[in-house]
């Protein structure tokens, strides 16, 4: 089910991509192809003739009214007063108080005692002797002899030649076929 859903999503994505490219191609084709000649009035008997559409003028610039002229009011020249000078007063900070750090008394540490690691002697590793295993000899297996079998010769199969009569010609009209299912009843 999941694979058919992903396949459907892929098909829909491809269809969307193809539809988008067809729109551009159709628009380009419509813009670059000259208009086809109108069909004759009596192309289909019994149908009324197609009315002719009024022609659309191609020059749309002459159909627009002229743009009225707009006069903008003149803006008077404004003179701004000079910017006053900003004087930042010089700030005088009080002197920093002197901080006296307390003196740390001198401490004499006792000497670190020497750590003596005793020397350890390990006993020698005992040697491991793996005994050699001797397997008994494999018994000899004697297969029984198969008797020689002689097959009887295959008899020749003769297929009789059958000549079929020619098929009758069936016209392509609503003639029921001999092996076709009957049409559904209405």
pTM above 0.85, yes or no: no
- How high is the pLDDT of residue 70? 84
Residue 96 is predicted with a pLDDT of 87
Q: What is the pLDDT of residue 61?
A: 57
3-state per-residue secondary structure call for the chain: CHHHHHHHHHHHHHHHHHHHHHHHHHHHHHHHCCCCCCCCCCCCCCCCCCCCCCCCCCCCCCCCCCCCCCCCCCCCCCCCCCCCCCCCCCCCCCCCCCCCCCCCCCCCCCCCCCCCCCCCCCCCCCCCCCCCCCCCCCCCCCCCCCCCCCCCCCCCCCCCCCCCCCCCCCCCCCCCCCCCCCCCCC
pLDDT in the model for residue 184? 76
Residue 6: the pLDDT is 82
Instruction: Tell me the C-alpha distance between 86 and 80, whole Å.
Output: 17
- The pLDDT of residue 75 is 85
The list of the chain residues with pLDDT below 50 reads none
Cβ contact 41:49 at 8 Å: yes
């Amino acid at each position: 089910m999941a694979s058919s859903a992903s396949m459907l999503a892929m098909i829909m994505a491809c269809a969307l991509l193809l539809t988008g490219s067809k729109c551009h191609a159709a628009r380009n084709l419509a813009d670059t192809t000259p208009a086809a000649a109108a069909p004759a009035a009596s192309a289909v008997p019994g149908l009324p003739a197609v009315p002719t559409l009024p022609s659309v003028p191609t020059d749309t610039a002459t159909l627009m009214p002229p743009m009225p002229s707009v006069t903008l009011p003149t803006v008077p020249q404004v003179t701004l007063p000079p910017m006053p000078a900003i004087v930042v007063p010089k700030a005088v900070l009080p002197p920093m108080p002197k901080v006296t750090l307390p003196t740390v008394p001198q401490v004499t540490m006792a000497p670190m005692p020497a750590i003596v690691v005793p020397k350890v002697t390990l006993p020698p590793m005992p040697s491991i002797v793996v005994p050699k295993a001797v397997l008994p000899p494999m018994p000899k297996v004697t297969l029984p002899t198969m008797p020689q079998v002689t097959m009887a010769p295959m008899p020749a199969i003769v297929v009789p030649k059958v000549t079929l009569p020619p098929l009758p010609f069936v016209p392509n009209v609503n003639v029921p076929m001999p092996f076709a299912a009957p049409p559904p009843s209405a």
